[in-house]
Amino acid sequence: DPYRNEPRRHPALIVRSDKPFNGETPAELLVASPVTPNDMFFVRHHLPVPVIDNDKFTVTVEGAGMRSLQLSVQQLQQNFKKAQVAATVQCTGNRRTEMKAAPAPGGSGAQIKGLDWEVGAISNAEWGGVLLRDVLLAAGLQPGDASVQHIHLIGLDTDMTGTPYAASIPIDKALSEAGDVLLAWEMNGQPIPADHGGPLRVVVPGTTGARSVKWIGRIVASADECQGHWQQKDYKAFSPGTDWDAIDWSAAPAIQEMPVVSAICEPAEGAELSTYDGEVTIKGYAWSGGGRDIIRVDVSADGGKTWSPAKLSKHPHSRPSRAWAWTLYEATLPLPEGFKGQLQLACKATDQSYNTQPEDVSSIWNIRGLVNNAWHKVNVSVVE
Ligand code: MTE
Ligand code: MO
């Protein structure tokens, strides 16, 4: 059994699959603290967790015209400047269940395939490590060298045929001084746990989780994008009208930055509120890709007919265009006077580019159930 060496996991993680392990953070725990505790951070694996001897571990950095470096975590710590970045990791499939619950637009009967994530395939941490940029430059990468367009990030986890998990990011993101791409060994002040890619992982802030390769074994500067499965045949979204048999994977680019998203974490779907309270407090998160800051979150207690702005709380390191960490929000809305029955709560966020979220999933529906950033709606009932 390739899964015989899996680490122990917190029983509160909501298991979406066992082998490989996939577990989501319960919504109410997401908003319980600005950074997600390491053992409650959502886990997204495609393969068994690799067994790594941390004392012998090195990462290889290489590419055309560069010298090949093999670096231990200790060498990274001793030879490079430490960088700390608060960054949210969000899976491209976060909130897929809502898209799955909606019929394929046009009644085609097309079926979404993918893990049943609710709102918790997202978490936030303070990562410590070195800038990937510094390591690439130390290996002799020449900025502006037109023969290098992509940085391949290759994990140590492999499938039955020995093929590793791998992804790539564009060279401009990897080399940007404001890109904050990390080779990280620290997560919330602790060594990164095995489930999150320890001893060393990549964190690509502002980019979908799939590119933040865990257990990083090899980094290769290349003219071409990574040709692996997860770069070419997954993590791409198509037109609502495209069914499985019509997919041309080469027709869409691999998802890197993500759109603006938000979710309600409290109250939970189906919660009962009392008319005597006269009000409802809504808590949740908002985040946008590419470092775009959240400038506003609007909440509604009538399914989106009327809206009020929520109070935002941002990570202290967060700044415009480098807002890698999520924004938590909270709002208290009055309940309609004397009202009893069903209410629909809704939220939507706006980022610094004034991008906002679509009203429902129909216009963004896609057969992989990716990048669902529709208004998040939660139905509650008001009782005596
Ligand atoms: N890296 C490796 N080596 N193997 C993986 O399966 N999954 C990716 C990414 N990095 C993955 C990986 C995906 S799809 C996501 S969403 C994030 O890791 C999740 O990171 P986490 O498990 O620390 O939350
Ligand atoms: Mo993911």
Phi first, then psi: give them for residue 128, nearest 5 degrees: -125, 135
Q: How far is the CA of 230 from the centre of ligand 2 (A)?
A: 10
Report how far ligand 2's centroid is from the alpha carbon of 136 (Å): 25
- Mean pLDDT across the chain: 97
Query: Looking at residues 65-93, what average pLDDT do you find?
Result: 97
What does the block give as tokens for 114?
């993918």
Pocket test for ligand 1, best of 214, 219, 231, 368 (most atoms within 8 A of CB): 214
**What six digits make up the tokens of 34?**
């600005």
Q: How far is the CA of 62 from the centre of ligand 1 (A)?
A: 22
Q: How many residues does the chain have?
A: 384
Alpha carbon distance, N-terminus to C-terminus of the chain:
54
Ligand closest to Cα of 122 equals 1
* Ligand 2 center–CA 384 separation, angstroms: 42
* Domains of the chain, residue spans: 14-251, 261-383
Mean pLDDT of 205-225: 98
Phi and psi, residue 12, nearest 5°? -80, -15
Q: How far is the CA of 358 from the centre of ligand 1 (A)?
A: 27
CA distance 137 to 289: 26
Query: Which residues on neighbouring strands pair with residue 137, listed in sequence order?
Result: none
In angstroms, the Cα distances linking 27 to 48, 314, 375 are 26, 18, 16
Among the residues of 145-190, which ranges form H helices?
171-175
Beta bridge partners of 167: 153
The average pLDDT across 182-211 equals 98
Alpha carbon of 44 to ligand 2 centroid (Å): 6
What is the CATH architecture of 14-251?
Alpha-Beta Complex (3.90)
Ligand 1 binding pocket, CB closer than 6 Å: 41-47, 89, 91, 155, 157, 165, 196, 209-210, 212-215
Q: Is a pLDDT exceeding 90 seen at residue 64? A: no
* pLDDT (tens digit per residue) in 298-338: 999 999 999 999 999 998 888 899 999 999 999 999 998 88
Residue 100's pLDDT is 98
Task: Confirm whether 14-251 and 261-383 share one CATH topology.
Answer: no
Ion ligand 2, residue ranges at CB < 5 A:
44, 91, 209-210
- Best residue among 13, 36, 41, 44 to mutate for probing ligand 1's pocket (most ligand atoms within 8 Å of CB) is 44
**Mutate which of 29, 45, 169, 195 to test ligand 1's pocket (most atoms within 8 Å of Cβ)?**
45
φ, ψ for residue 133, nearest 5 deg: -55, -45
Number of the ligand 1 atom closest to the C-alpha atom of 50: 3
List of residues 6+ apart from 140 with CB closer than 8 A: 65, 66, 67
On whether the CB atoms of residues 335 and 275 are closer than 8 A, the answer is: yes
ipTM higher than the 0.90 cut: yes
The burial of 70, by beta-carbon neighbours within 10 Å (0-12 exposed, 13-18 middle, 19 or more buried), is given as exposed
- Tens of pLDDT, residue by residue over 106-136, are 899 999 999 999 999 999 999 999 999 999 9
| Class of CATH domain 261-383 | mainly beta
The beta strand positions in 18-73, using DSSP E, are: 22-24, 43-44, 59-63, 69-71
Question: What mean pLDDT do residues 21-28 have?
Answer: 98
Distances (CA, A) of 14 to 23, 101, 370: 5, 19, 20
Which ligand 1 atom sits nearest the alpha carbon of residue 196? 23
Measured in angstroms, how far is the CA atom of residue 92 from the centroid of ligand 2? 5
Q: What is the 3-state secondary structure (H, E, C) of 110-124?
A: CCCCCCCCCCCCEEE
Q: What whole-number distance in Å separates Cα of residue 209 and Cα of residue 301? A: 31
Give, for ligand 1, the residue of 212, 226, 229, 230 to mutate: max count of ligand atoms closer than 8 Å to Cβ: 212
Structure tokens at 312: 């935002």
What angle (nearest 5°) sits at the alpha carbon of residue 281, between those of residues 336 and 278? 35
The 10 Å Cβ neighbour count of residue 64 is: 12
